[in-house]
């Protein structure tokens, strides 16, 4: 974290303003705060909501006022409590959690805040990803599973004494590659990586810490790093490299490359799971807004007017069925 903040030019952040609402965790009393655009550091949480039986605590019109006074820590899921512990460890006063910081039964508020996802995740000091948790009851922190194969060797040192070296099977990092997102669907160890909402959050985040069962995994615009010391830098990466792909989202490019980037993102995104089909376009809106800011023009139901001919030439990889409810025009991939 310190190396990234001090040395990574591509990860440098200007003074940021906290989102419309955040959880104030600077004291023992947790409460929902309306920020009114105040400057400050905050972190954000990326997590799986889970099934209805594990639904996370939410802010609604009915409990908005009480949440602004106090939120009982005991009412929060384990994932939320773990994220707050981590934020406090880094002396971060504010944390943004979607289910609590967006009024869930207010359509106008939900539409407004979902359109702000790009700035929320990009401007967060870091994003906490509960990658191992399929619902809030599992949390970020969990006991490490024993290695499947371990071996201890006694190796002679220069002074003649022997020191033990422990050898284990290398962890598989392939599911963490956004370019292999479709493979993550079959990997039950990392439920978050199979979720469509997660792809946008990963690509937008300046810094992100994955919590998995085996180890922590770090992503930023400059590098990736895990506890077993596997390191990939942008300078060593190819066009298709996982971090090179993330970095391309953070850099200004020409229109042709931006449209190509959009097509690649759609290919990955459409392979991921989403609970509500009505979220298919909103879960990409943050990325679309970012491309609009870079000059891509008018955005129409998942396609770009400036690139309409190319955008219309899409196809499905599998035979599917038409949705029962209208989500987008028939000419849209959505």
Pick the closest to residue 288 from 114, 162, 144 (CA basis): 114
Query: Measuring CA to CA, how many Å separate 161 from each of 6, 155, 156, 157, 166?
Result: 40, 8, 6, 6, 16
253/32: higher pLDDT: 32
147/79: higher pLDDT: 79
Query: Measuring CA to CA, how many Å separate 89 from each of 49, 74, 309?
Result: 24, 19, 50
Residue 169: inside a domain: no
Residue 149: inside a domain: no
Residue 237: is its pLDDT beyond 50? Answer: no
Residue 181: is its pLDDT beyond 60? Answer: no
User: Which residues constitute the domain of residue 268?
Assistant: 258-334
Cα-based angle 53, 59, 62 (whole degrees, multiple of 5): 105
Supply the pLDDT for residue 46.
95
Please check whether residues 207 and 313 belong to one and the same domain.
no
Please check whether residues 198 and 321 belong to one and the same domain.
no
**Which range has the worst mean pLDDT, 198-207, 227-236, 293-302, 307-316?**
227-236
Please check whether residues 245 and 263 belong to one and the same domain.
no
The structural domain count of the chain equals 2
Please check whether residues 269 and 135 belong to one and the same domain.
no
Q: Which residue has 């004494």 as its token pair?
A: 161
Dihedrals phi, psi of 53, to nearest 5 degrees? -70, -15
Q: Are 33 and 185 in contact (CB under 8 A)?
A: no
Q: Among 226, 251, 276, give the residue marking a domain's end.
A: 251
Please check whether residues 25 and 111 belong to one and the same domain.
yes
Supply the pLDDT for residue 277.
84
Please check whether residues 237 and 311 belong to one and the same domain.
no
Residue 150: inside a domain: no
Supply the pLDDT for residue 179.
53
Condensed to tens digits (0 to 9), the pLDDT of residues 312-330 reads 999 987 776 777 777 789 9
Q: Among 199, 223, 251, give the residue marking a domain's end.
A: 251
Residue 238: is its pLDDT beyond 50? Answer: no
Supply the pLDDT for residue 176.
60
Please check whether residues 105 and 198 belong to one and the same domain.
yes
């Amino acid at each position: 974290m310190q190396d990234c903040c001090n040395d990574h030019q591509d990860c440098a952040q200007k003074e940021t303003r906290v989102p419309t609402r955040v959880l104030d965790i600077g004291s023992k009393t947790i409460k929902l705060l309306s920020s009114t655009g105040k400057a400050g550091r905050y972190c954000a949480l990326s997590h799986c909501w889970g099934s209805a039986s594990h639904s996370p605590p939410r802010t609604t019109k009915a409990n908005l006022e009480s949440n602004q006074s106090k939120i009982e820590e005991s009412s929060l899921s384990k994932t939320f409590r773990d994220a707050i512990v981590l934020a406090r460890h880094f002396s971060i006063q504010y944390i943004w959690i979607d289910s609590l910081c967006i009024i869930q039964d207010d359509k106008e508020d939900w539409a407004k805040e979902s359109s702000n996802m790009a700035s929320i995740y990009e401007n967060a000091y870091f994003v906490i990803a509960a990658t191992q948790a399929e619902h809030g009851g599992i949390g970020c922190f969990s006991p490490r599973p024993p290695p499947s194969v371990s071996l201890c060797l006694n190796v002679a040192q220069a002074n003649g004494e022997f020191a033990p070296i422990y050898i284990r099977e290398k962890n598989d990092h392939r599911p963490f590659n956004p370019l292999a997102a479709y493979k993550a669907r079959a990997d039950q160890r990392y439920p978050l990586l199979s979720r469509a909402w997660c792809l946008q959050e990963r690509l937008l985040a300046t810094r992100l810490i994955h919590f998995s069962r085996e180890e922590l995994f770090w992503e930023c615009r400059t590098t990736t790093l895990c506890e077993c010391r596997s390191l990939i830098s942008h300078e060593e990466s190819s066009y298709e490299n996982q971090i090179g792909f993330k970095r391309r989202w953070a850099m200004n490019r020409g229109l042709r490359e931006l449209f190509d980037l959009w097509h690649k993102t759609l290919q990955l995104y459409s392979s991921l799971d989403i609970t509500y089909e009505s979220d298919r376009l909103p879960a990409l809106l943050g990325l679309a807004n970012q491309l609009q800011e870079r000059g891509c023009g008018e955005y129409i139901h998942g396609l770009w007017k400036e690139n309409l001919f190319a955008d219309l030439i899409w196809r499905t990889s599998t035979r599917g069925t038409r949705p029962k409810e209208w989500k987008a025009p028939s000419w849209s991939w959505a």
